[in-house]
Amino acid sequence: MVTNGDFSQYDPNCGDFRFAFEDGCVSVWTEFSADASLWGVPTNPYAWMWSANGSFEALQTPVAFEQGKCYTVSFRVRTNDNGNTNTNTNGIINLRAVNLQNGGIQSEQDIYVNSIGGNYLNNWKPITVSFIPTANFSTLLINPLYAGSAPQAEMSIDDIVVVEDHLAVDFHFEDASGTTKDIFCAGETIFLDGSASADEDNYFIEAYKRPKGSTSNFQAISSLGWTAGELNTINLTTLFGTAGITFDIGYEYEIKVAVQNTCTNWLPLTKRFTVLGNVHLNPNFAMNTFCAGDGTISAEVTTTEPTANQWWGLFETSTSATTGGTQVGAIQTGNTYTFTGLSWTKNYYIKHGVWKDSDKDACYPWQESRQTVTTPVSWKGQTSDFNISLTTDFNGNVVVNTQADTNPVNVYHLWDLYDSNDNVVGTTYCCSVDAVTYSGLSLNTWYYIKHGVWNNCIGWTETRIYFRVQTQKSRNNNDPVRFILETKEYPYEPDSGYIQQINDQIVSGAIYEMYEEYKKDKRTVTESKIEIYPNPVQVGKTLTISNSSKNPIKKIELVTLSGKSTVLEYVRQSENIQVPIDERTSKGMYFVRITKQSGEIITKQVAIQ
CB 189 within 8 A of CB 176: yes
Residue 12, in any domain of the structure: no
Mean pLDDT on 509-523:
57
Pairing of strands 191-193, 55-56: unpaired
**In a shared domain, residues 539 and 582:** yes
Burial of 381: CB neighbours in 10 Å, binned 0-12, 13-18, 19+: exposed
* Residue 4 covered by a domain: no
CA 337-341-347 angle, to 5 degrees, is 95
Look at residue 452 and tell me if it is in a domain. yes
Q: Do 26 and 141 fall into the same domain?
A: yes
Beta strands 183-185; 267-276: pairing state: parallel
Residue 10 lies in a domain: no
Query: What does the pLDDT average to over 391-399?
Result: 71
| C-alpha separations of 451 from 238, 402, 418, 459, 491 in Å | 71, 10, 11, 14, 15
CA-CA distance, 354 to 359, in Å (whole number)?
16
* 3-state SS class at 346: coil
Q: Do 454 and 561 have their domain in common? A: no
Burial of 73 (0-12, 13-18, 19+ CB in 10 A): buried
Side chain identity at residue 117, one-letter code: G
Output the pLDDT for position 448: 93
- Indicate if 157 and 190 belong to the same structural domain: no
Give yes or no for residue 396 having a pLDDT over 90: no
Mean pLDDT of the 340-364 span? 95
Out of 223, 241, 276, a domain closes at 276
How does pLDDT run across 567-585, given as a tens digit for each residue? 999 888 777 888 999 988 8
Going by C-alpha positions, the residue among 440, 299, 459, 473 that lies closest to residue 372 is 299
The whole-angstrom separation of Cα 102 and Cα 227 is: 49
Q: What is the pLDDT of residue 331?
A: 96
In whole angstroms, give the CA distance from residue 127 to residue 476. 136
Whether residue 156 sits in one domain with residue 42: yes
Q: For 302-316, b where at least 16 C-beta lie within 10 A, e where not — what string?
A: ebebeebebbbbbbe
Q: Which pLDDT value is given to residue 513?
A: 63
- Which of 235, 251, 276 is at the close of a domain? 276
Q: Is residue 378 part of a domain?
A: no
3-state helix, strand, coil in the chain (%, to 5): 10, 50, 40
Give the pLDDT confidence of 177-223 residue by residue, as tens digits: 999 999 999 999 999 999 999 999 999 999 999 999 999 999 999 99
- Per the structure, the complete domain to which residue 541 belongs is given by 504-608
- Residues 542 and 488 grouped into a single domain: no
Average pLDDT on 380-397 reads 84
Specify if 468 maps to a domain. Answer: yes
Residue 584 burial class via C-beta count within 10 angstroms: exposed 0-12, middle 13-18, buried 19 and up = exposed
Q: Are residues 150 and 49 in the same domain?
A: yes
Of 222, 243, 276, at which residue does a domain stop?
Answer: 276
Q: Are residues 210 and 294 in the same domain?
A: no
Phi and psi torsions of 475, nearest 5°: -65, -30
CB burial of residue 82 (10 Å; 0-12, 13-18, 19+): middle
Report the alpha-carbon angle 351-356-359, nearest 5: 165
Instruction: Label residue 477 by pLDDT band (50, 70, 90).
Output: low
Q: Which amino acid is at 273?
A: F
Same domain, 73 and 148: yes
pLDDT of residue 365: 92
- Say if residue 144 is in the same domain as residue 33: yes
Residues in Cβ contact with 565 at an 8 Å cutoff, skipping those fewer than 6 apart:
557, 558, 559, 593
**CA–CA separation, 605 and 446 (whole Å):** 19
Q: Are residues 594 and 517 in the same domain?
A: yes
Q: Which of 581, 450, 604 is nearest to 532 (CA)?
A: 604
* pLDDT for 312 beyond 80: yes
Domains identified in the chain, total number? 5
Tell me which of 377-386, 388-397, 431-440, 452-461 is least confident: 388-397
Averaged over 483-508, what is the pLDDT? 81
Burial class (CB in 10 A: 0-12, 13-18, 19+), 540: exposed
Band (522; pLDDT cuts 50, 70, 90): very low
Q: Flag whether pLDDT at 521 surpasses 60.
A: no
- Residue 106, phi-psi category: left (phi > 0), alpha (psi -120 to 50), beta (remainder): alpha
pLDDT of residue 528: 45
pLDDT tens for 252-286 read: 999 999 999 888 899 999 999 999 999 999 999 99
Q: CA-CA distance, 457 to 173, in Å (whole number)? A: 53
Instruction: Identify whether 228 is part of a domain.
Output: yes
Do 576 and 604 lie in a common domain? Answer: yes
Give the chain's radius of gyration (CA, Å). 50
> How many whole angstroms separate alpha carbon 22 and alpha carbon 201?
39
Tell me what the pLDDT averaged over the chain comes to.
Answer: 89
Tell me the pLDDT tens digit for each residue of 8-67.
998 878 877 788 888 888 999 999 988 899 998 888 999 999 999 999 999 999 999 999
Picking from 25, 37, 32, 19, the residue whose alpha carbon sits closest to that of residue 102 is 32
**DSSP string over 28-79:** T-EEEES--EEEEETTEEEEEEEEETTEE-EEEEEEEE-TT--EEEEEEEEE
Decide if 379 is inside a domain: no
CA distances from 545 to 413, 425, 526, 575, 595 (A): 29, 15, 14, 8, 13
